[in-house]
């Protein structure tokens, strides 16, 4: 049986790679603006405008895909780990409910990381996931604050625009890294369970019959 999150993980990773690339170009443009505003307006303004529009569209698409991904990842977690403490529905609530998400978002990845660390092969993966959970929340808050400041400013300074672009890039890289690590752990656990099932089947096939099941021997 395939993982429920396999296809959606591939789509999310592809879109996040694209968003990271857009954010990197945005950072380059904002760096030029900080150094030389005239050069930015002459050569980079049109590129910056295009990247900004594409990034906004990508962001909202990714947010929708991300919620589906969270739901399907937790479907897999509940199947692979007995009595996993968070259902797909409650995981969505952790992401979507205002203020509660300040706890729900990092705790979701803390739980995933702690379960991965129970397996020796996934210990580092679990540690990385847990380690990134708090920075994810911090950079999300910082990105929201800086974006609001930029949007409300009558004249945006080069340093402010650069800081906003830099923080956004880090946030998207964290999201991408978590997506890769979470699916890596699911795939590894799924393959391990599948191999274990195959071994059990093979053992059953080659198991010697017990005395009660042995074929009768007729003496002539």
CA-to-CA distance for 114 and 197, rounded, in angstroms?
24
Does 198 fall in a domain?
Answer: no
Domain count, the chain: 1
114: CB partners within 8 A, 6+ apart: 126, 130
Dihedral Cα 116, 119, 121, 126, nearest 10 deg: 20
Contacts of 125 (CB under 8 A, 6+ apart): 113, 116, 181, 184, 185, 188
Encode pLDDT of 86-138 as tens digits: 999 999 999 999 899 999 999 999 999 999 999 999 999 999 999 999 999 99
Confirm whether 210 is domain-assigned.
Answer: no
Candidates 55, 57, 65; CA nearest to 164 is: 55
Beta strands in the chain (DSSP E): none
Residue 200 lies in a domain: no
What token pair was written down for 42?
A: 């002459």
pLDDT digits (tens, 9 = 90+) for 4-50: 999 999 999 999 999 999 999 999 999 999 999 999 999 999 999 99
Domain with 138, as residue range(s), is: 6-192
């Amino acid at each position: 049986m395939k993982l429920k999150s396999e296809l959606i993980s591939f789509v999310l990773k592809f879109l996040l790679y694209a968003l990271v690339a857009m954010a990197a170009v945005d950072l380059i443009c904002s760096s030029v603006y900080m150094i030389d505003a005239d050069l930015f307006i002459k050569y980079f303004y049109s590129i910056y405008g295009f990247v900004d529009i594409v990034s906004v569209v990508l962001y909202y698409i990714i947010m929708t895909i991300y919620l589906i991904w969270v739901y399907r990842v937790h479907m897999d977690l509940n199947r692979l780990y007995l009595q996993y403490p968070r259902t797909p529905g409650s995981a969505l609530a952790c992401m979507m409910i205002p203020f509660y998400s300040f706890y729900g978002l990092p705790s979701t990845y803390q739980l995933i990381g702690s379960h991965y660390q129970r397996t020796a092969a996934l210990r580092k993966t679990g540690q990385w996931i847990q380690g990134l959970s708090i920075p994810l929340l911090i950079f999300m808050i910082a990105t929201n604050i800086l974006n609001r400041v930029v949007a409300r400013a009558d004249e945006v300074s080069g340093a402010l625009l650069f800081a906003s672009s830099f923080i956004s890039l880090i946030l998207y890289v964290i999201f991408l890294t978590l997506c890769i690590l979470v699916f890596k752990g699911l795939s590894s656990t799924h393959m391990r369970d599948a191999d274990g099932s195959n071994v059990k089947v093979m053992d059953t096939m080659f198991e010697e019959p017990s005395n009660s099941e042995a074929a009768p021997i007729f003496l002539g």
